[in-house]
Amino acid sequence: MGTAVDAANKVVNESLPSEKKVTVIFVLGGPGSGKGTQCANIVENYGYTHLSAGDLLRAEIKSGSENGTMIQNMIKEGKIVPSEVTIKLLERAIQENGNDKFLIDGFPRNEENRAAFESVTGIVPEFVLFFDCPEEEMERRLLNRNQGRDDDNIETIRKRFNVYMESSLPVIEYYNAKGKVRKINAAKPVEEVFEDVKAVFIPLHEKVVYSFGRIL
């Protein structure tokens, strides 16, 4: 029976070895911050490819591959999928895609993810696009999306907020100390938020690009 290490090694072996040059932007924000909507706008207007770690894990499971079965079993057993597995799925998606500009949505989720990503791939993000939104507004949006206000919904939403605060904010603080955070006020209407996003992307003409494993 395969182990977590086997799963990681399986994806490592499937990754392509090319020295592809890429620009990576991490997109972070709490549940209900609207980052998914804005990622779609960025893709449409600036030609980036949107990658979601969660979507890649689900796709790997759905593929029925040996690696996907291992991931599914780990999730069923309540185990955390190792960072290396998720990172190698991201790396493979980057390598196999024809684009060289990527938005990585909802990752890294914690400091361990962050350190492992840079260590495994050799990629340092161009910057972190952080959608900052008050908890009350995110809660309102999620409740409207769920079309209900029962206590179970509220309790579940607040647990998600707590996990986000404890795990993701240290990542934002780390990159902020390096001058790499572009904070967006995500409490405004969608159109106004995108105006602020455009102000970040329009000046981005000359890109610093990285190869897997080394800075060019």
Supply the DSSP string of 14-61, one letter for each residue: HS------BEEEEEEE-TTS-HHHHHHHHHHHH-PEEEEHHHHHHHHH
Write out the binding residues: 32-37, 58, 79-81, 106-109, 113, 145, 149, 160, 188
What pLDDT is attached to residue 153?
Answer: 77
Pairwise CA distance, residues 164 & 206, whole Å? 33
Write out the binding residues for CMP: 113
What pLDDT is attached to residue 215?
Answer: 44
Write out the binding residues for ATP: 32-37, 145, 188
CATH superfamily of this structure's domain 23-208: P-loop containing nucleotide triphosphate hydrolases (3.40.50.300)
Identify the CA nearest to 25 among candidates 86, 102, 83, 92: 102
Going residue by residue through the chain, which has 216 residues, state the pLDDT in tens, using 9 for 90 and above: 455 445 445 544 444 445 678 999 999 999 899 999 999 999 999 999 999 988 999 999 999 898 899 999 988 887 878 899 999 999 999 999 999 999 999 899 899 999 999 999 999 999 999 999 999 999 999 888 765 545 547 888 888 888 888 889 899 999 999 999 999 999 999 999 999 999 999 887 544 444 444 444
Q: Give me the residues paired with residue 22 across strands.
A: 210
Q: Is 107 helix (H, G, I), strand (E, B) or coil?
A: coil
> According to DSSP H, which parts of the chain are helical?
4-14, 35-46, 53-62, 66-76, 83-96, 111-121, 135-146, 151-177, 190-201
Residue ranges covered by each domain of the chain: 23-208
Task: Retrieve residue 66's tokens.
Answer: 């040996």
What pLDDT is attached to residue 19?
Answer: 62
Write out the binding residues for a ribonucleoside 5'-phosphate: 58, 79-81, 106-109, 149, 160
Pairwise CA distance, residues 124 & 72, whole Å? 29
